[in-house]
Amino acid sequence: MTEEVARRADANANNPYHKTAESYEAKLRSPLVRPFREAEEKRLTQIFDALIRPEDTLLEIGCGTGYYTRTLVKRARHMVALDDSEAMLQLVCNRLPAEDQAKIEFVHSEATHYLPPEPFDIVLHLGVLDYVREWQKFLTHSITHARRAVIFTCPTTGFFGQTFHYLSLFRGIHVMRFRREQIENFLREGYPDWQLDMERVGINSGWTGGMTWVATLRKREPET
pLDDT of residue 81 exceeding 90, the answer is yes
CA distances from 224 to 43, 149, 196, 220 (A): 32, 20, 21, 12
pLDDT number for residue 156: 87
pLDDT number for residue 27: 55
Q: Are strands 194-201 and 104-108 parallel, antiparallel or unpaired?
A: unpaired
Contact 218, 195 (CB under 8 A): yes
Contact 103, 69 (CB under 8 A): no
Please classify residue 71 by burial: count the beta carbons closer than 10 Å to its beta carbon, then call 0-12 exposed, 13-18 middle and 19+ buried: middle
The pLDDT > 70 percentage for the chain reads 75
Span 153-207, pLDDT tens digits: 998 877 666 777 667 667 777 788 899 999 999 999 999 999 999 999 876 655 5
Q: Are strands 78-83 and 57-61 parallel, antiparallel or unpaired?
A: parallel
Query: What kind of fold does domain 3-219 have according to CATH?
Result: Rossmann fold (3.40.50)
Partners of 59 in the β-ladder? 80, 123
Span 98-144, pLDDT tens digits: 999 999 999 999 999 999 999 999 999 998 998 899 999 999 999 99
Nearest 5 degrees, angle CA 51-CA 212-CA 67? 60
- Other CB atoms within a 10 A radius of the CB of residue 170 amount to 7
